[in-house]
Amino acid sequence: MSKRTNHRKTGEATDGQKDRHPANRHPPISKRRRRVFIAITILLPFVLIAAAEGILRLCGIGGHISAIKVVGEFRGSELATTYVPGGASYFDLTKSTPGSIGEYTFLVPKPANTFRVVLSGASAVKGYPQPMGLANSAFLKEMLGDVWPDRSVEVINLGTTAVATFPVLDMLTQMLEYEPDLVIVYAGHNEFFGTYGVGSMQSAGDTPTAIRFFRWRSGLGLVNLFSRLTAPTKDSSGKALMEKMVGQANIAFDSPLRESAANNAGFHVGQMIDRCRTANVPVMVCTLPSNEKDLSPVGTVDVSHLSDADQSRLKKLIESGAANVVTDSAAAIAELKDALRIHPQHARAHYLLGKALLASGDRVSAATHFHKAIDCDPMPWRATSATIDAIVSATISRGAPVCEVRQAFRKASADGIIGAELMDDHVHFSLRGQELLARTIVQALTDFDGLCAVDAEVFDALPDWKAYANRLGANEYERYAVAHGLRSIFDVPFMRSSNPETYERWDHLCKRLISKWPIAIQRVAQEWQDPKMHRTVRRPLSAFVARAFIREKKFALAKPLMEFSSHCVPLFSTWNIEYVYSTLLCDERLHGGLDEAGRTRAADTIERIQFMLKHGAGNAGLIQRFSGRLHQLRGEWAESIPLLEQARKHLWEIEKVACDAALIEAYVRTGDKPKAKALAQEGASNAGRFAKHYIKFQKAIPQD
């Protein structure tokens, strides 16, 4: 067989044959098809990402949690609350220990004759380190109630720990949908190290545009999913939140981040004013006081650009100046001025020079150097002059009122320089400082017109700060609690090294207060210090002490502490229910029953419990027991029985014993002794180490 024949049989073709059969070749791709193919290649990944994003959103992954949550119907309206997960949603890189917002509830729509005030800011306006019941918002509510006795005043505190101004703006924007009558802005201290601050480990960039983009990106479902998979389940570092937020710890005096921080603060506060104006809500912006004379700069100054000889001389001058501040102020002034010639922006040298000048009687020069120390601090946890100026400029340029809080604090301070009397640390208010912030806000309202106006004569007649503190329930146990918390903060290594005298001050106060208490109360205070006792909200020490007094049947001592404690936890919480019940129990034990006001309060609390149970409250068994006991305090024994019967199914150990005690008494009171005896016998037989209690219950049941 020939080669040609063989080629045909095998289907192979020679080069010449291929040329004679062009149909066997693929036609060239047209330009149009090529463009379509390229477009598909480019767009396909985006389509797949969009599809994945859509699926994740359908699964509830992605987006941002609102700082305000509408929970459900209550008393014919919708109950809304400031929402802790919403405040936490800004902490993308510290999800295990986010900053927190307090829980404040309010009705939607707003009830008639209600004046709703919104406080916006960070931890200072939240009231830290004071408990919720002694925060500036509590003082403000009392004062506004005094100047407007014909209104029902609400103060909703949006203060959130460790946030810069962008989250403040975002949360305020959400709150504007809920009919506020007045917005008060107090923000700007956290523009460096708060979340979305320019120097934070969670920095979103150093411009408002970059910050908005970062917030948008963090809401993507894919980013959310990755964050969930990689975030730690709990924090074990033992560090304070602001310590963990620190990213670029040393921010030089001439760093461009300082200008960025000021620009961001001014921009975001300006946006707050604009959005309030758009919503037709009056707004007031506060200037920011800080501890000027009683807290040394906390950052470590970089001196690496100096020669070894200058570094050595600088160190000696500062150490000698520090030693001479009190004993020889003239020598200290000379030494510290020499130090500043070597390093003109040395924050600690400015601070010490301020102390020496103040000791010498030169208040004006001292104030200048204290302010310079704040501006030069390499770890700017206090708002710098540039930041405050940017906020004031943004406010004035929009014609909005400025509340001169910083000026008021200086006027109220010895020497005209703010210190420990009004500030517990760098920016957080003492008890008197909390009251002064509130009073300054109310005074500013004397310049307002319309619904927000306060009569100047009525303002002048307000009681002093101690009267308000006593009215709110200030006591030595909460003073200890604050001191203990601050002692822990100043025990952090870099805080203790920069401000050892502040740690000593709080440690001394703790020891002095606790030494006056009986041993039993000292043990209670030690128990309260265990973080496991608090979970997400720090419970007031007053409640722990009040429990001890109730066990000792010292109801007169326990009642005011429990009453105070009920104002230090969220209204719709198990702890609030417990504290209100305990307050009413003390009333019943002291007076043999509840008066009409007490009966009404018990009924209101039962209504709150029913709402909580309907909307999935935790600790259902516990609040059902309290509901049953509240019925009993009202003399409604039959109504208590189904609640207690249901509650005991969810309780253990001593809580179940207490529930069964109340149930046995209810059976007896309603004439069902067989059930009472059966329950007591069941406990005596099966309750193990608690059986002795049931034996006691058996003996107390009247015999037929």
Task: Using the predicted structure, report yes or no on whether residue 303 has a pLDDT greater than 60.
Answer: yes
User: What kind of fold does domain 68-232+241-293+383-472 have according to CATH?
Assistant: Rossmann fold (3.40.50)
Which of 188-202, 231-245, 362-376, 511-525 has the lowest average pLDDT? 231-245
What residues contact 452, with CB distance under 8 A and at least 6 apart? 181, 182, 282, 445
Measure CA 359 to chain center. Answer: 38
Contact 388, 407 (CB under 8 A): no
| Region class of 306: left (phi > 0), else alpha (psi between -120 and 50), else beta | beta
Q: Tokens for 374, please give them.
A: 């704040």
Residue 101 DSSP class: B
Q: What is the pLDDT of residue 96?
A: 57
Residue 176 vs residues 380, 572, 608: alpha-carbon distances, Å: 31, 23, 26
Domain boundaries, the chain: 68-232+241-293+383-472, 308-376, 476-700
CATH number attached to the domain at 476-700? 1.25.40.10
Q: What percent of the chain lies above the pLDDT cut of 70? A: 90
Residue 555 vs residues 133, 583, 623, 684: alpha-carbon distances, Å: 21, 9, 22, 30
Tens-place pLDDT, residues 418-451 = 999 999 999 999 999 999 999 999 999 999 999 9
Q: What is the pLDDT of residue 247?
A: 46
Whole-model pTM: value is: 0.90
Tens-place pLDDT, residues 480-490 = 999 999 999 99
* Triad 190, 193, 198: Cα angle to 5°: 95
User: If DSSP codes are grouped into helix, strand and coil, which group holds residue 116?
Assistant: strand
Q: What is the pLDDT of residue 235?
A: 52
Same topology between domain 308-376 and domain 476-700: yes
* Triad 517, 520, 523: Cα angle to 5°: 90
Rounded-to-integer distance, Cα 296 and Cα 322, Å: 11
Q: Tokens for 635, please give them.
A: 């003399």
Mean pLDDT, residues 392-401: 98
The most distant pair of C-alpha atoms in the chain lies apart, rounded to whole Å, by 126
Q: What is the pLDDT of residue 91?
A: 86
What share of residues in the chain are helix, strand, coil (percent, to 5)? 60, 5, 30
Rounded-to-integer distance, Cα 243 and Cα 193, Å: 9
Contact 262, 389 (CB under 8 A): yes
Rounded-to-integer distance, Cα 472 and Cα 449, Å: 29
Q: What is the pLDDT of residue 666?
A: 97
Q: What is the pLDDT of residue 162?
A: 92
Instruction: Name the amino acid, one letter, at 207.
Output: T
Q: What is the pLDDT of residue 189?
A: 97
- Of 3.30.750.24, 3.30.9.100, 1.25.40.10, 1.20.1250.20, the CATH number of 308-376 is 1.25.40.10
Average pLDDT, the chain: 91
Mean pLDDT, residues 287-312: 96
Residue 237 DSSP class: S
Tens-place pLDDT, residues 491-513 = 988 889 999 999 999 999 999 99
